[in-house]
Chain A
Amino acid sequence: MSGSDGSGSASLAAAPPMGTAATIAAGVRSGELSARVVIDAHLAAIEAREPHVHAFNLVLADEARTAADEIDRRVAAGDDPGPLAGVPVALKDNLCTRGIATTCSSRILDGWQPPYDATVVQQLAAAGAVAVGKTNLDEFAMGSSTENSAFGPTRNPHDPSRVPGGSSGGSAAAVAAGFTPIALGSDTGGSIRQPAALCGVVGLKPTYGLVSRYGLIAFASSLDQIGPFATTVADAALLLDAIAGHDPMDSTSIPGPVPSYSTTLDRGVAGLRIGLITQLMGEGIAADVAARVRQAAEALEAAGATVGEATIPAIEYGLSAYYLIAPAEASSNLARYDGVRYGLRVDAPTTAEMMTATRTAGFGAEVKRRIMLGTYALSAGYYDAYYGKALKVRTLIIRDFAAAYEQFDLLLSPTSPTTAFRFGDKTADPLSMYLNDVCTIPTNLSGDAAISVPFGTGDDAMPIGVQVLAPALGEVPMLRAASVLEAAAPTPGIAVLGEVVR
Chain B
Amino acid sequence: MSERITRDDVAHVAFLAKLAVTDAELDEYTSQLAAVLDHAADVESLDVADVAPTAHPFPLSNVLRPDVLGPTLDRAEVLGQAPSVEDGRFRVPAILGEEP
Partner of B52, one of A357, A395, A446: A395
Determine the chain A residues whose CB is within 8 A of the CB of B63 once the complex forms: 251
Q: Does B1 lie at the interface of the complex (its beta carbon under 8 Å from any beta carbon of A)? A: no
* Residue of B37, B42, B82 most packed against chain A (CB within 10 A): B37
> In the complex where A323-B36, A351-B95 touch, is A395 in contact with B19 (Cβ < 8 A)?
no
Establish whether residues A208 and B57, one from each chain, have CB atoms under 8 Å apart when the complex forms.
yes
Complex-state Cα separation, A115 to B44, whole angstroms: 46
> In the complex where A251-B63, A369-B29, A371-B17 touch, is A354 in contact with B54 (Cβ < 8 A)?
no
Determine the chain B residues whose CB is within 8 A of the CB of A392 once the complex forms: 46, 48, 51-54
Partner of A398, one of B13, B39, B54, B97: B54
B30 CB to closest chain A CB (Å) equals 10
Q: Does A267 lie at the interface of the complex (its beta carbon under 8 Å from any beta carbon of B)? A: no
Complex interface residues of chain A between 442 and 499 (CB less than 8 A to chain B): 445-447, 472
Q: Does B43 lie at the interface of the complex (its beta carbon under 8 Å from any beta carbon of A)? A: yes
Partner of A115, one of B52, B55, B60, B78: B78
Complex-state Cα separation, A116 to B81, whole angstroms: 12
Q: Does B68 lie at the interface of the complex (its beta carbon under 8 Å from any beta carbon of A)? A: no
Complex-state Cα separation, A113 to B52, whole angstroms: 42
> In the complex where A350-B95, A372-B17 touch, is A112 in contact with B81 (Cβ < 8 A)?
yes
Report the count of interface residues on B (CB-CB < 8 A). Answer: 53
Mark the stretch among A184-192, A273-281, A335-343 that contacts chain B.
A335-343
Complex-state Cα separation, A386 to B5, whole angstroms: 12
Determine the chain B residues whose CB is within 8 A of the CB of A316 once the complex forms: 42
Complex-state Cα separation, A349 to B93, whole angstroms: 6
Establish whether residues A375 and B17, one from each chain, have CB atoms under 8 Å apart when the complex forms.
yes
* Residue of B35, B83, B84 most packed against chain A (CB within 10 A): B83
Complex interface residues of chain B between 20 and 56 (CB less than 8 A to chain A): 20-21, 29, 32-33, 35-37, 39-44, 46, 48, 51-56
Establish whether residues B20 and A348, one from each chain, have CB atoms under 8 Å apart when the complex forms.
no
Q: Does A104 lie at the interface of the complex (its beta carbon under 8 Å from any beta carbon of B)? A: no
Q: Does A17 lie at the interface of the complex (its beta carbon under 8 Å from any beta carbon of B)? A: no
Determine the chain A residues whose CB is within 8 A of the CB of B92 once the complex forms: 340, 351, 354
Q: Does A30 lie at the interface of the complex (its beta carbon under 8 Å from any beta carbon of B)? A: no
Determine the chain A residues whose CB is within 8 A of the CB of B56 once the complex forms: 222, 252
Complex-state Cα separation, A376 to B9, whole angstroms: 8
B76 CB to closest chain A CB (Å) equals 9
Establish whether residues B40 and A320, one from each chain, have CB atoms under 8 Å apart when the complex forms.
yes
Partner of A331, one of B10, B17, B51: B17
Establish whether residues B54 and A395, one from each chain, have CB atoms under 8 Å apart when the complex forms.
yes
Determine the chain B residues whose CB is within 8 A of the CB of A339 once the complex forms: 83
Partner of B54, one of A323, A344, A355, A391: A391
Establish whether residues A372 and B46, one from each chain, have CB atoms under 8 Å apart when the complex forms.
no
Establish whether residues A379 and B93, one from each chain, have CB atoms under 8 Å apart when the complex forms.
no
Determine the chain A residues whose CB is within 8 A of the CB of B97 once the complex forms: 350
Establish whether residues A348 and B17, one from each chain, have CB atoms under 8 Å apart when the complex forms.
no
Determine the chain A residues whose CB is within 8 A of the CB of B33 once the complex forms: 369, 372-373, 376
Using CB atoms and an 8 Å cutoff, list the residues of chain A in contact with chain B.
112-113, 115-116, 208-209, 222, 248, 251-252, 254, 316-317, 319-321, 323-324, 331, 335, 338-345, 347-357, 359-360, 363, 368-369, 371-373, 375-376, 379, 386, 388-396, 398, 429-431, 434, 445-447, 472
Can you offer 5 A-B residue contacts whose CB atoms are under 8 A?
Answer: A320-B41, A340-B82, A340-B83, A349-B94, A389-B46
Q: Known A-B contacts: A115-B74, A222-B57, A345-B83. Give 13 more (CB < 8 A).
A: A317-B46, A340-B83, A341-B78, A341-B90, A351-B94, A368-B19, A389-B48, A391-B54, A392-B53, A395-B48, A396-B46, A430-B35, A472-B58
- Nearest first, the 6 A-B pairs at minimum CB distance are A447-B57, A391-B53, A345-B83, A392-B48, A320-B40, A251-B63
